[in-house]
Amino acid sequence: MLINKFRFYFLAIVAFCLTFCDGVQAQQLRVGVFEADVTPPIGSPVAYAITRSVVDPLSARGLVFFIEGQQPVVMCAVDWIGISNESQDIWKKQLADAAHTTTDRVSVHVLHQHDGVVGDYTMEKIMNEYGIKNTPFDSAFQHKAIHNVAASVAAAARNPHEVTHIGFGQAKVEKVASNRRILGSDGKVEFSRWSSGNDSIVMAKPEGLVDPWLKCVSLWHNEKPVAVITFYASHPQSYYGKGDVTCEFIGRARNNREKALGVPHIHFNGAGGNITTGKYNNGTDSLRTILTRRMETALKIAWENTRKRPVDGSMKWNTSKVKLPVSTKFSEEKLRATLADTSAKHADVIVAAERLAWLERSKEGATITVSALRLGKLWFLNLPGELFVEYQLAAQKMRPGEQVCTAAYEDLGPGYICTAIAYEQGGYEDSPASSGVSPEVEEVLMGAIRKVLK
């Protein structure tokens, strides 16, 4: 009789734990999906020219995550070349207000298309201070664009979808990405592979270190997909610089898949600072079409490889605010001298304004936010700058048996963020014109990545 009573109480306790305890641990997940047009008007400046035509419209797309018991999280991907410094502050503030959350829970990235818009209010103020003409900014358009995106975020936040399942799939991307830095026998950069080229010797060099995997996350309400989120690391441009605005081959592939599935598709650029299409691209329109097709094929295969599982496990938002070490290769005095020199080349003036904007922000104590959204065994890692792919590959090793999806190109104020050893190897990326940080950045940034992936 005692044994039967013990068995009864034991089974009752087990049943209680399986029902009540599981219920306590389960977190409800809802998500709002937004999209807004951010295409510049004809005559408005983009990165390297004045807009003369719109080949493809540009968009800002993203998600508002509602995790039970937590403030909302906003993740946004914009078809611009960069959003830096005070522009990041303004984007985050307006999107946070729209979602009724705080700015440290908002992550705004660009896809880095080179025929896209430059957003940097700090740099714009500096150029205006020196009376510099032909700045790459159109404040009226940019303020309107941010306002429209915020309105779209607010609408999405009012109408979120319940998410019951999360899917994940991946596929190798064939003949798109290649490492830009080709080292010689002395360990120094011997050749640089740009986004396009016709040098048969450089194009014949090995592909080099890349992350070939395109990662595809899908959010579902039972059997209905709510949104698709993809990640891939590479400079996204095939050719640029004439003022023909385009979302480029990655934007076109994204748009085609969205149309085919009838599901909102948000794409994030991974750590592609040292990754380009230069091995496989000669800068022609036909190659842009081929690159689009290759990306679209990988997106389709990753979707077909998707495996769903019910929403479970821990869901949370982690952040780490860090001060990135400023490069010692430039000084405020020299930068201001270039800006004041009316005979200086316009390209040099642009670089001086970029570096001074970052330097001023750093002196004022501005920090960079590294963040990660955890959804069970799946992570969205958000990182700044034109980041080397080594950071993305290292982050993946920190969560063995799980999936870390990296979105870089958040605040572009620091410019290129190389690895410590890369600053000894030379090359375009570690030059004073390209990188605003010092070799110590690797230790600082890797520490922040480890912290948010805990």
**How distant, in Å, are the alpha carbons of 173, 397, 407 from that of 404?**
17, 9, 10
For the chain, what is the mean pLDDT? 94
pLDDT, position 21:
42
**How distant, in Å, are the alpha carbons of 1, 10, 15, 18, 207 from that of 6?**
9, 6, 14, 18, 66
What are the structural domain ranges in the chain?
Answer: 28-163
pLDDT, position 40:
98
What gap in Å lies between CA 113 and CA 91, rounded to an integer? Answer: 18
pLDDT, position 27:
87
pLDDT, position 5:
46
pLDDT, position 195:
95
Cα-Cα end-to-end distance for the chain: 49
Closest CA to 214 of 273, 260, 173, 176: 173
Model confidence, pTM: 0.94
161-163 sheet: strands from edge to edge: 106-110, 73-78, 59-67, 29-37, 161-163
Is residue 163 exposed (0-12), middle (13-18) or buried (19+ Cβ within 10 Å)? buried
- What's 326's DSSP letter? B
pLDDT, position 26:
63
Please state at what angle helix 285-304 crosses helix 248-261, rounded to 10 degrees. 40
On whether the CB atoms of residues 315 and 26 are closer than 8 A, the answer is no
What gap in Å lies between CA 247 and CA 291, rounded to an integer? Answer: 13
Q: Which stretches of the chain score pLDDT less than 50? A: 1-24
pLDDT, position 423:
97
